Structure 1
Amino acid sequence: MADDSCCSPRRDPGGSVSPGVPLPGTPGGSVNQSVAVAALADSSSPASSVLERVRIEAGTFLMGTEDADGFPADGEGPIREVSLNTFDIGVTAVTNAEFAEFVEATGHVTEAEHFGWSFVFAGFLPAALRKISQRPPATPWWCGVSGATWSHPEGPDSDLTDRTDHPVVHVSWSDAVAFCTWAGGRLPTEPEWERAARGGLEQKRFPWGDELTPDGRHLCNIWQGTFPVKNTLADGHRGTAPVRTYPPNGYGLYEVVGNVWEWTADPWTTNATTPAADLTPNRAMRGGSYLCHASYCNRYRVAARSSNDPTSTSGNHGFRCAW
């Protein structure tokens, strides 16, 4: 697999570090979410009817790419015909306001809260906090920050003021599954995600076509400038953008590329033709994030893929639901 550590840092020992001091409430292992998910059956879920969704009718599309800009080692190809049944998918990524409603209704405690820390982009932190935070050696723009959670995205001194309509971040795969279960749904599969993200276009790089900035317009939230030291903010956003900031694709979905990585239901594999032969414990993610840049992580194309350990959390991890 191509190096995707810039895309989404890993909590597991093979790909990341944790803060150097023991943290209160840190369990030292993966959180058992089965009890939490089971408990959702007793919780009323207004989100099951409130979350806006679109219906994608049954049909066939061409999945994957052999684009020269792609990463063959990520298993983006070969291009293949895939048939899907009818499904619904969220118009936007799940927002902070929606996740807060879920937490209020269920008492859900996220994995970042259990572990006591999560990854934050170093450029968002004050110098004093950057200095004491441990960083993955290969990607020092990520910091393991004590107290960083979905409701405190840059650590204990931060909050969600003016960000209720931003996508929720610092959520693990299990956190996403728990929310979708509460909302009467599930995470989308990779083929569902890609078909929905394409918006009815066939074999285009982006949800709107092949050109990243047609007529000079920025249509997604990614990094502009020199990564990771200078972001020109040409698209108007330094971190996450509110959902519905950019025009929707042909199916009415917003921010399917850029903004935040989106968890999918599927285990990671790079073998598209016989996936059962190459499954890993990691989970596939799609869409790229506000930290993606052509010089290092050109994964904001609709066929681009990445993965992470399902317990990993960071300031650019999010999700949307399917039904």
Structure 2
Amino acid sequence: MKFLILIIFFTSIIGLSDTFMSDLGCFKKNSETNNYYEDSTLIFVKGGSFKMGDRNCEKDELPRHRVKLSDFYIGKYEVSNIEFAEFLNIKGNQYNDHSYWINTKGIWRDLKCRIFAENNKFIVEKRYENHPVNFVSWYGANAYCKWKGGRLPTEAEWEYAAKGGVETHSPIPNTFGSRASLPPPPNNIGDFAWYSSNSDNKINEVGNKKPNVLGIYDMQGSLWEWCSDWYDAKYYAKSKRKNPQNLDKADYKVLRGGSWANDKEMLRITNRNALNPNTNKINLGFRIVYDL
């Protein structure tokens, strides 16, 4: 504890940053008092190695290969409507690659985007402030993360965090990821994931289900989450073994995790989805990552 206090004190004295991160925690500066406080919305993920992919599922999950990752922080929750509206009120809803960062007029059946523009301001519909932002393109997700000083997760980081940051050799056959991502028995998928059988055909507030073993909520189900990588079905055969990220521009960006509209089979941790980065649909969202 003394060591932690000294770090925070030293950082505040020399004014290195408004955010201080280590494996002891993430601390942010209060702009009024200049004191640091712990940011409880981020989860520390200790780096390590794990087997990425699945030899028994889709071809683009092959070959199953070992990956080594550095430490990072990941959002405890998916980014919410109120958080994204704050960003829009500062940066505006900009246009990239034939689409806006967020489709505020997006609608699907009786569901719609809960952020709307009124009197030159972006407002969140009441009672939806803490629902995950959706109808957001990869460009919008990426811009938000940069604005916050972070970034989107690589798909390797996403898979590692979803698995609980541990090695696993016991995947549940082609149904719901790995045992390492599940709470202690009984492992009931409905206890910690929104999917087609329990979502009531709607998007639910963040953090209402149980977290995984790292304390991260809604990694599976809820919304498909944008990752930083460009999609390549054969990328695993040629990817780097340390901190891999596919930077070779292609037609699609990777998404992970499945959504409230999918059957539970789509929520497998190793399952890879891909869409054009300008896509902004009802079931697309994201979460943020920070480097140490």
TM-score (norm 2): 0.70
Note the alpha carbon deviations across 1:267-293, whole angstroms, 9 max, x for none.
Answer: 001111125798622100000000111
Q: Find the counterpart in structure 1 of residue 269 from structure 2.
A: 302
SS at match of 1:214: coil
User: RMSD between aligned alpha carbons?
Assistant: 3.2
Q: Which has the higher strand share?
A: 2
Q: Find the counterpart in structure 2 of residue 248 from structure 1.
A: 211
1:319 aligns with 2:286: yes
Q: CA 1:242/1:261 → structure 2, altered by over 3 Å: closer, same or farther?
A: same
Distance 1:210 1:291 in 2: 26
Q: Find the counterpart in structure 1 of residue 35 from structure 2.
A: none
Q: CA 1:87/1:100 → structure 2, altered by over 3 Å: closer, same or farther?
A: same
Shift of 1:159: 6.3
Distance 1:236 1:58 in 2: 33
Q: Find the counterpart in structure 2 of residue 221 from structure 1.
A: 194
| Contact 1:110–1:172 (CA under 8 A) maintained in structure 2 | no
1:76 aligns with 2:54: no
Q: Find the counterpart in structure 2 of residue 36 from structure 1.
A: none
Shift of 1:81: 0.6
Count of residues in correspondence between the two structures:
233
Match for residue 94 of structure 1 among 79, 90, 107: 79
Q: CA 1:244/1:110 → structure 2, altered by over 3 Å: closer, same or farther?
A: farther
Distance 1:159 1:184 in 2: 23
Shift of 1:116: 6.8
| Contact 2:135–2:282 (CA under 8 A) maintained in structure 1 | yes
Q: CA 1:279/1:71 → structure 2, altered by over 3 Å: closer, same or farther?
A: farther
Shift of 1:217: 4.7
What are structure 1's unaligned runs of at least 5 residues? Answer: 1-43, 126-147, 153-157, 225-234
Distance 1:85 1:321 in 2: 16
What are structure 2's unaligned runs of at least 5 residues? Answer: 1-17, 20-26, 29-38, 117-122, 172-176, 240-245
TM-score (norm 1): 0.64
Percent sequence identity is 28
Shift of 1:301: 0.9
Q: Find the counterpart in structure 1 of residue 252 from structure 2.
A: 282
Match for residue 208 of structure 1 among 182, 186, 192: 182
Q: Find the counterpart in structure 2 of residue 187 from structure 1.
A: 152
Q: Find the counterpart in structure 2 of residue 273 from structure 1.
A: 237
Distance 2:202 2:191 in 1: 15
Residue correspondence of structure 1 range 22-171 to structure 2 within 5 A = 49=28, 52-67=41-56, 70-72=57-59, 75-109=60-94, 113=100, 120-122=107-109, 124=110, 149=113, 151-152=115-116, 160-171=125-136
Code of the aligned partner of 1:244 = G
